[in-house]
Amino acid sequence: MPVGTPPALYRIARLFRVLSILALVLVFVYVGVAVYSASRLRGTGSNGGGNNTGSNGGGTTTVGANDAVTYATTVNLTNPGFLPINALQVSAIVSMPGGPVLARGGSPAVAIGPGQTAAIPITFSLPPLTATGPAALLVTHDANLPMVFWINVTFASIFGLAINTSQNYSWGAPFDALNASVGSPTPQSNGTVEAPITLSFQDHAKFADVGTVTATLESSSGSICSTIAFSLNVPSGGSYSQTQNAFANSGCNLSGGSVQLSYTAPNVSVRLPAEPIP
Amino acid sequence: MSAPASPDPATYRIPSLARRLVVGVAIAALVLVFVGVVPYEILTRLSAAGLATALPAQAVILGGLAFAAFAAARHIAKPTRAFGPVTIAGAAFSIGYLLFISQRATIAFSTHDTTVTLAYGSVFVLLVVVPLLRLASGAFTTIEDARHPGERLPFDYPV
């Protein structure tokens, strides 16, 4: 046995050696606990369905006051482990098929403590449904919109997970196959001209078309000849076809003109594609 | 001031150089297996399973060889004044190696529409604490050996 007390510097060196071994053990234990906790993460389902599901238990699709279509869903994530999820964030973009980015969205950065469940709201908005702009085609045509999601997670402050996934968002047009045709004008005894207008379309969207389509007959020179309104109450998946008579002044030459259409509903005003009059 | 007194040789027994060499090689082999061969095998199997790793498997083997060499050198040089500097050099290499790995510690998996990437470099940054403490230990041992050569021998190699 050595005689006396070990020298001070020797004891300090030995202390650091012991601390290094202790640190190594602690790091391994922490990593092991982190791996075990991560293996217990559970997504507890969502009320998001994609495919502009309206309000039927899937994600919610709403048309807002600014005519923008907002898709919102919530994903629940349970962290039953011992360590926190420091930052979870979802980002998404929706594009036209082969075309420009239509919308961006995602979720805020969410932290989920150990033993907690968090609801992660995911929203993105499509631009206003108008007759012009990048989303114009979506008013009257169904489309498969490419969507790209990015999910970034930091777990226990030491593990980072990045997920990038692509899928298609099935968009049903609210006015698919829109058609407004003008029949043969018939002169009336009072000097006006009666022109039947037939409006037809199919609602492929997951929300109903409830409102009014105003059809304005314009002459080839652009002057307004007549205006009529079609009252709509078309359920999702339904179709519409109705003929109404418009009365124009006899001096109004409809040939070569157009039918200007606009759809109005509570908090919604959408210009629809115009239909030419042969 | 008089020179510090050397400890009584009867109070310690240093293993022979041959024995230290044999034990040092055994320690090196163990270190090479756990720090070099096992991680290399894991990386190779991950690649074979279609998981992409940014960490070169050859770097892991070379790192394992270096760690093994430092471990053997520490054991062989323990009774000498080179023990402290070898410890410091080994710790410094460990810090550099861990930081090198931390920049490349990712595993990626791809399907036709999904890519998943796991980054675990922070684990190695956290592990840098271990060689930092070792480096401090080596520094104090170096100072001790410079001021009082052989004073620690009875406590490192008690009879």
Can you give the pLDDT at residue B76? Answer: 97
Six-digit token string for A88 = 């979870």
Can you give the pLDDT at residue A17? Answer: 96
Q: Which residues of B touch A167 (CB under 8 A)?
A: 113
Can you give the pLDDT at residue A64? Answer: 66
| pLDDT tens digits along A182-238 | 888 888 888 888 889 999 999 999 888 899 999 998 888 888 888 999 999 999 999
pLDDT at B115 over 60: yes
**ipTM of the assembly?**
0.90
Nearest-angstrom CA–CA distance, B125 and B105: 11
Of A27, A161, A166, the CB nearest to B113: A166
Of B117, B122, B123, the CB nearest to A162: B117
| pLDDT tens digits along B45-71 | 999 998 989 999 899 999 999 999 999
- Give chain A's length: 278
Six-digit token string for B38 = 């096992």
Can you give the pLDDT at residue A169? Answer: 83
Cβ of A16 within 8 Å of Cβ of B134? The answer is: yes
B155 Cβ under 8 Å from any chain A Cβ = yes
B141 Cβ under 8 Å from any chain A Cβ = yes
Cβ of B120 within 8 Å of Cβ of A159? The answer is: yes
Mean pLDDT of chain B: 92
**How many CA atoms are closer than 13 Å to the CA of A120, on its beta-carbon side?**
29
Cβ of B133 within 8 Å of Cβ of A161? The answer is: no
Listing DSSP states for A147-193 in one string gives EEEEEEEEETTTEEEEEEEEEEEEEPPTTEEEEEEE---EE-TTSEE
Of A31, A164, A165, the CB nearest to B123: A31
Can you give the pLDDT at residue A54? Answer: 36
Strands annotated E in A23-158 = 42-46, 60-63, 69-79, 85-95, 101-106, 110-112, 116-126, 143-155
Can you give the pLDDT at residue B92? Answer: 97
Chain A residue whose CA is closest to B136: A16
Nearest-angstrom CA–CA distance, A41 and A114: 10
Can you give the pLDDT at residue A252? Answer: 81
Q: How far is A156 from chain B (nearest CA, A)?
A: 10
Q: Which residues of A touch B147 (CB under 8 A)?
A: 9
Can you give the pLDDT at residue A27? Answer: 95
Regions of chain A short of the pLDDT cut 50: 47-57
Burial environment of residue B85 by CB neighbours within 10 A (0 to 12, 13 to 18, 19 or more): middle
Of B119, B127, B155, the CB nearest to A6: B155
Cβ of B122 within 8 Å of Cβ of A157? The answer is: yes
Q: Inter-axis angle of helices B129-147 and B83-102, to 10 degrees?
A: 160
Give the pTM.
0.74
Six-digit token string for A252 = 């109004």
